Chains A and B, each alone.
Chain A
Amino acid sequence: MSSRNPLPQHPLDHLIAAALRNEVADAEPSPAVWKRTRRRALSWLARTQPHAVWNGTTSFSPMPLALGRGVIALHGELSVLRFWEYAGMLLRFGW
Chain B
Amino acid sequence: MSIGHPDGRLIVRMQNGDVDALGELYETYKSRIFRTALAITRDPGAAEDILQETFLRLFRCAERIQTDVPVGPWLYRVAVNLSYSWVQKRWYRLGPLEAVLDRLTAPLHLLPEKLLERGEVQERVRLAIAGLPLPHRVVVVLFYLEGLSLKEIAEVLEVPEGTVKSRLHYARESLRQMLGEQRVLSGVAYEFT
- On A, residues with C-beta under 8 Å from B are 1-5, 7, 11-25, 27-30, 33-34, 36-38, 40-42, 44-45, 49, 52, 57-60, 92-94
| Cβ–Cβ < 8 Å partners of B39 in chain A | 20, 23-24
- On B, residues with C-beta under 8 Å from A are 13, 16-20, 22-23, 26, 30-31, 34-35, 38-39, 44, 47-49, 51-53, 55-56, 59-60, 70, 72-73, 76, 85-86, 89, 121-123, 125-126, 129, 140-141, 143-149, 152, 172, 175-176, 179, 181, 184-185, 188-189, 191-192
Given contacts A5-B147, A21-B145, A44-B59, contact A38 B19 (CB under 8 A): yes
Given contacts A19-B122, A40-B56, contact A14 B192 (CB under 8 A): yes
Given contacts A11-B192, A17-B145, A59-B18, contact A23 B126 (CB under 8 A): yes
Complex Cα distance A39/B188, Å?
48
Given contacts A19-B122, A24-B39, contact A3 B152 (CB under 8 A): yes
Q: A29 to B34, Cβ gap below 8 A?
A: yes
Distance to closest chain A CB from B41 (angstroms) = 11
| Cβ–Cβ < 8 Å partners of B73 in chain A | 1
| Cβ–Cβ < 8 Å partners of A28 in chain B | 30-31, 34
Q: B34 to A12, Cβ gap below 8 A?
A: no
Complex Cα distance A11/B52, Å?
36
Count of inter-chain pairs, beta carbons less than 8 A: 137
Is chain A's binding surface mostly helix, strand, loop or mixed? helix
Nearest residue, chain A, Cβ from B21? A59
| Cβ–Cβ < 8 Å partners of A45 in chain B | 17, 19
Q: B56 to A12, Cβ gap below 8 A?
A: no
Distance to closest chain A CB from B70 (angstroms) = 6
Complex Cα distance A59/B16, Å?
8
Partner of A7 from the list B56, B72, B86, B144 (CB cut-off 8 Å) is B144
| Cβ–Cβ < 8 Å partners of A40 in chain B | 52, 56
Nearest residue, chain A, Cβ from B143? A5
Q: A20 to B17, Cβ gap below 8 A?
A: no
| Cβ–Cβ < 8 Å partners of B85 in chain A | 93
Partner of A58 from the list B20, B76, B184 (CB cut-off 8 Å) is B20
| Cβ–Cβ < 8 Å partners of B146 in chain A | 1
Complex Cα distance A2/B121, Å?
31
Complex Cα distance A16/B124, Å?
10
Besides A20-B129, A27-B47, 12 new A-B residue pairs in contact (Cβ under 8 A), listed by A number: A3-B148, A12-B185, A13-B144, A14-B191, A19-B129, A24-B35, A27-B44, A28-B34, A33-B51, A37-B55, A38-B22, A41-B22
